[in-house]
Structure 1
Amino acid sequence: MSRDVQIRTADAEDLVWIHELRHRVYAEELGQHAPRPEGRLHDALDGDNVYLVAARGPVRMGFVSLTPPWLGRYGLDKYLTRDELPLLSEGGAFEVRILTVEPRWRSTAVAPLLMYAALRWISSRGGRTVVAMGRTELLDMYLAVGLKPLGHTVRSGAVTFEVLTGEVAGLTQVATARYRTALDRFRSVVDWQLDMEWAPGPDGCEHGGASFTAIGKDFRTLHRRHEVVAADVLDAWFPPAPGVRAALAEDPGWSARTSPPTGAEGLLSELAAARALPVETLVAGAGSSDLIFRAFGRWLTPTSRVLLLDPGYGEYAHVTERVIGCRVDRFRLHGKDGWRIDAARLASVVGAGRYDLVVVVNPNNPTGRHAPAAELRSLIEAAPAGTRWWIDEAYLGYVDLAESLAPLAAVDPRVVVCTSMSKMYALSGARAAYLVAEPATAAVLRRWTPPWAVGLPAQLAAVATLRDPAYYRACWLRTHALRRQLAADLAQVDDTVVIEEGVANFLNITLPYGGPSAARLVRECRRHDVYLRDLSPLSPQYEGRTVRVAVRDTAENARIVAAYEAALETLLPGSPSRRTPELPAAALAGYAR
């Protein structure tokens, strides 16, 4: 195949051809449907399905149909009840259907390319499970890519289908390992017009931070930090407290070359005093990820059952599912409910689930919602005795530190509270965090903590941070004002877009149905050196339409608004709802530099 083979989403003209090809194949060739005088075969999900098309210039070669879970209905509903196929009721399955190739292209790589494109599209929208109907005579092709029969065979007209499923992570692993050579060859000849990258990222949790790629990961072009707006990560917009900067600047040569206190004893003592907690309940770590990997690796095995919020911070799904291999269930939050935790529903799920671990990020990232401490206390008290609760309070300062469940964690062996000092205290680069657990649990984790887990600059910075609470309270209050102004300015750009603030140092933008995808908005903003976070890979709950924006200072927030407006002008030209925001001259000057 030559380089002009395209993989793209279908447009209106493609849909006419799709209906005609369906009729030629499934009515005339295979006898699945009765022939129709108009020579076109429609589908009940037309208008809602996503169609991916392979084409060479004006010549269309094949297509595949995708049904995302947010539609609430599937093609398989015509053949099986939800009791027969409960997978469809779990809220996260993507259906792949009607993989169809023009006869002259069936001996080429068109079908595998479309299958790979479908997998990448589903992965980019947070998909975890695929369900498909495959013609029985083509079953070997589907088995070869990692799909597995579910034990249901359905018949439609003269055609028999096998119902198949697969986990997106497993299917991706098969594709990138078993078919790596073929994919590398295809990559050089395919015009990939979809809104996700051709290849999945490296094995690991997908975080923000693409902005550092623009700055330069080799640190040779650090001047770019003044040009790039890093709103794709939730680093603080403000600098650390003056005492922190002084501690780091006093003798940087000494702090760089000197081994720190082995177990961060001074930091733990400072934490105990600042938080009014017994020092024996504390464990220090080089950021919350260090603590997550260390604790979960000790507590969980592949037989463990874990409950996560969905949407939720991606590191937890990565560690539990892909690193340890636990059985993981999702407690789904819903936009129509303001992304808030339904305490009664969560209590019911936990009470019936016999979970080894329940993870609650509070305030939640990426939804930005906070559940009151009293509500969570009641949930935990009513939960089964064998269920451990991990409460992540990385953003609690933006609400109220008095809302912490750390005092409960210090005495209840079922509760652990983890707190990163990165986002609230402007120490993301230093990597400092701690957890609170009852003394026996904390002692075990300290035994499994390597010496010098937290470097000396980080310990110095963290101790100085804790000694200036007034500075950070003022920064958190200022963050709320900046967020509100940023939300108001973004809302003025286009009233078809939904802006959700939350309570922390970020807000979310949800694009309208039928508009550009979140990935395309992010890509357009990068043309202006403004980096935002596409939330689509985190959860299908976002439907590929939501972008997270970290709050920055006044000048950078204005650049975010200007880049966002320019992006929408490109992606939605001539929208009658668009209004020009009034930006201060200083902001426009900052954007233009």
Structure 2
Amino acid sequence: MDHAIQLRTAAPGDLDWIHELRHRVYAEELGQHQAHPSGRLSDGLDGDNVYLVAARGDTRIGFVSLTPPWVGRYSLDKYLTREELPVLSEESPFEIRVLTVEERWRSTAAAPLLMYAALRWVAARGGRRVVAMGRTELLDMYLAAGLRPVGRTVRSGAVSFEVLTGDVAELTRTVRDRHGRTLDRLREGLDWRLDADFAPRADGCEHGGAFFSAIGTDFRTLSRRHQVVAADVLDAWFPPSPEVRAALTEDPGWTARTSPPTGAEGLLAEIAGARGLPVESLAVGAGSSDLIFRAFGRWLTPESRVLLLDPTYGEYAHVTERVIGCRVDRLRLRREDGWVLDPARLASATEDGRYDLVVVVNPNNPTGRHAPADALRAVIEASPARTRWWIDEAYLGYVDPAESLAGFASVDPRVVVCTSLSKMYALSGMRAAYLVADPDTAGELRRWTPPWPVSLPAQLAAVTALRDPAYYAERWARTGELRRELAAALAELDGFASVDEGLANFLTVTLPPDGPSAARLVRECRRHDVYLRDLSPMSPAFEGRTFRVAVRDTAENARVVAACRSGLDALRAGASAAVPAPGRVAAGAAGGGVAR
């Protein structure tokens, strides 16, 4: 790999070369800045920028500069106010700057490779939009790459620039379409040292569940399940109730070969009785994702406008933005507010009726915060009649089932409550869920539900679980105890900025700004067969340094703590020295930049 093209985050030793190359190109060649006697050109954002470097052996080829939104300022702020360029405030973009390649490498794939690396780094931090300054005379090149002008031109020295913006997913596809063969060819020998996957998932959605790759998705090595800690998904740490296990093992051959009730009639009746709901207000599915895809596919079109919380469960952004193509806005939850949803902000955002659908996950995943039912109901009641509300209560049992809005949903045509039976009842492998809506809405969805939507084992397990509330209430209470114990043990480790519990069966852990990224620690923990969830791709709000941990039993929680301790020690000891973590570099003096 000595002479393979290497992509890495810049180390302090790269900065002199970056400043020297910047001077040669932007001062001497383009005249954007005045020449400096030192032959170097630094940048006022050097202390906050992230630089990605391409190199072959000891030869540096080029670099690209990135300014994340959490820095709080952009190079564009020197030229335009936020009122003149609202995209900087409204969409929390990442700024891609000064993509610069040594002259002898400009006819190679170095520039597309650096742009692709920048987009993958941004996506790995939850970035959805980028901004850039492109030289006006090269506008056609930027348009071909998928960037679009925002209608603002700025001048820096002898150079004029167009302000450009683009969607990260669309830009990534464009780079892949135009340079896919080259990227695939380079990938074979590429020394990819970034803490972002080289390629996005085929379905474009970031899920948990990487633990199963360690067990074996071909199911030939299931014994590995005893060695792997699956804390990157929110499956229950406890087994289903003894009655459920007995029902599934009484005659497994019959259960496996027999068709279930066509419309899950028994399951619907059991849910109605257990929850005190009219059966005509219910629809069931093979997990909440089944219901999300089915319902949203019926209700929404590319012309629909949707409001999501940010951060929240990523399936909603995937379905609305990537699958259906809706216009999606986000109500940003803030770390400084403890990630709590402010009902007044939600009411203000929805009062004008611009949204066809508002999605609220309550308690929210991955923050674990819960909005009181009375406050949320008041916001919904005051909202316009045209706005539909989807309330996801998958983890409500860990808070208080009495906080459910299901009864409200059964009589108000604007409201739908979705509830998974998978997580709360230890049935994730079975896939069972239901939604509650007014009878007309629920009836429409039942008409668009294929026969046998839930398997016989899943129906049998779910019905039996609902008949054993005492067992599950005790397990939910014990989950809270385990969560608190795990949080306390993680908080004692040296290397975390915060450990936040929330109210559900998981907690979040944040690394300090000058520490390793969440992706690197998660990767280190996998060396110990402990799988955690890097939250960075979900939202820029996590700044690339927060991960989620599902609550497991006492023994597995201890393994999580031990793996985190070992991972932190390894990263501190320099195990990642060849892959420097994104971090701070010495501050410079001058600013400006182009994509070249």
Deviation at 1:88, TM superposition (A): 0.5
Verify the 8 A CA contact 1:287 1:433 in the aligned structure 2: yes
1:566-581 equivalences in 2 (<5 Å): 566-573=566-573
1:420-459 equivalences in 2 (<5 Å): 420-459=420-459
Deviation at 1:113, TM superposition (A): 1.0
Cα distance between partner residues in 2 of 1:276 and 1:105: 70
1:232-251 equivalences in 2 (<5 Å): 232-251=232-251
**One-letter code aligned to 2:11:** D
Q: What residue in structure 1 maps to residue 553 of structure 2? A: 553
Q: What residue in structure 2 maps to residue 297 of structure 1? A: 297
Q: What residue in structure 2 maps to residue 585 of structure 1? A: none
Cα distance between partner residues in 1 of 2:515 and 2:463: 48
Q: What residue in structure 2 maps to residue 283 of structure 1? A: 283
Q: Decide which moves more: 119-128 or 9-18.
A: 9-18
Deviation at 1:436, TM superposition (A): 0.3
Matched, 1:179 2:165: no
Q: What residue in structure 1 maps to residue 192 of structure 2? A: 192
**One-letter code aligned to 1:239:** P
Aligned to 2:547, what secondary structure does the other structure show? strand
Any idea what the Cα deviations from partners look like across 1:319-343, whole Å, max 9, x if unmatched?
1011111110000001100000011
**One-letter code aligned to 1:393:** E
Q: What residue in structure 2 maps to residue 505 of structure 1? A: 505
Verify the 8 A CA contact 2:496 2:510 in the aligned structure 1: no
Verify the 8 A CA contact 1:3 1:190 in the aligned structure 2: no
| Greater relative contact order (CA < 8 Å, ≥ 6 in sequence) | 2
Q: What residue in structure 1 maps to residue 518 of structure 2? A: 518
**One-letter code aligned to 1:310:** D
Cα distance between partner residues in 2 of 1:288 and 1:158: 57
Structure 2 unpaired stretches of 5+: 576-596
Cα distance between partner residues in 1 of 2:510 and 2:97: 28
Percent identical across equivalent pairs? Answer: 75
Any idea what the Cα deviations from partners look like across 1:180-210, whole Å, max 9, x if unmatched?
2111011123211101111111124211000
**One-letter code aligned to 2:219:** F
Any idea what the Cα deviations from partners look like across 1:414-453, whole Å, max 9, x if unmatched?
0000000111110000000000001111110110010000
1:29-108 equivalences in 2 (<5 Å): 29-108=29-108
Verify the 8 A CA contact 1:3 1:188 in the aligned structure 2: no
Verify the 8 A CA contact 2:353 2:386 in the aligned structure 1: no
Q: What residue in structure 2 maps to residue 334 of structure 1? A: 334
Verify the 8 A CA contact 2:511 2:545 in the aligned structure 1: yes
Verify the 8 A CA contact 2:5 2:189 in the aligned structure 1: yes
**One-letter code aligned to 2:162:** E
Cα distance between partner residues in 2 of 1:353 and 1:191: 50
Matched, 1:403 2:407: no
Q: What residue in structure 2 maps to residue 588 of structure 1? A: none
Cα distance between partner residues in 2 of 1:3 and 1:21: 21
Verify the 8 A CA contact 2:362 2:392 in the aligned structure 1: yes
Matched, 1:343 2:343: yes
1:234-383 equivalences in 2 (<5 Å): 234-352=234-352, 354-383=354-383
Aligned to 1:130, what secondary structure does the other structure show? strand
Structure 1 unpaired stretches of 5+: 576-593
Verify the 8 A CA contact 1:2 1:189 in the aligned structure 2: no
Any idea what the Cα deviations from partners look like across 1:94-134, whole Å, max 9, x if unmatched?
11011111222222221111111001001111111111111
Q: What residue in structure 2 maps to residue 418 of structure 1? A: 418
Cα distance between partner residues in 2 of 1:295 and 1:353: 20
Cα distance between partner residues in 2 of 1:552 and 1:91: 36
Aligned to 1:425, what secondary structure does the other structure show? coil
Cα distance between partner residues in 2 of 1:101 and 1:66: 15
Aligned to 2:492, what secondary structure does the other structure show? helix
Q: What residue in structure 2 maps to residue 4 of structure 1? A: 4
Matched, 1:125 2:130: no
Deviation at 1:178, TM superposition (A): 3.3
Any idea what the Cα deviations from partners look like across 1:370-426, whole Å, max 9, x if unmatched?
110011011101111111110000000000000000010010000000000111110
Cα distance between partner residues in 1 of 2:92 and 2:543: 11
**One-letter code aligned to 1:244:** V
Q: What residue in structure 1 maps to residue 468 of structure 2? A: 468
Cα distance between partner residues in 1 of 2:480 and 2:429: 23
Verify the 8 A CA contact 1:69 1:91 in the aligned structure 2: no
Aligned length: 575
Q: Decide which moves more: 134-143 or 61-70.
A: 134-143
Q: What residue in structure 2 maps to residue 564 of structure 1? A: 564
TM-score, reference length from structure 2: 0.95
RMSD: 1.4
Find runs of 4+ consecutive structure 1 residues off by over 6 angstroms: none
Any idea what the Cα deviations from partners look like across 1:227-251, whole Å, max 9, x if unmatched?
1000000000000011110111011
Q: What residue in structure 2 maps to residue 590 of structure 1? A: none
Cα distance between partner residues in 2 of 1:496 and 1:225: 28
Q: Decide which moves more: 157-166 or 554-563.
A: 157-166
**One-letter code aligned to 2:158:** A
Verify the 8 A CA contact 2:425 2:465 in the aligned structure 1: yes
Any idea what the Cα deviations from partners look like across 1:535-592, whole Å, max 9, x if unmatched?
00100110100000000000000000101000000112399xxxxxxxxxxxxxxxxx
Q: What residue in structure 2 maps to residue 483 of structure 1? A: 483
Any idea what the Cα deviations from partners look like across 1:493-535, whole Å, max 9, x if unmatched?
1154310110000011100011111110110000000000000
Any idea what the Cα deviations from partners look like across 1:7-40, whole Å, max 9, x if unmatched?
1111111112111211121112211111122222
Deviation at 1:142, TM superposition (A): 2.3
Q: What residue in structure 1 maps to residue 167 of structure 2? A: 167
Cα distance between partner residues in 1 of 2:11 and 2:441: 57
Cα distance between partner residues in 2 of 1:205 and 1:105: 35
Aligned to 1:179, what secondary structure does the other structure show? helix
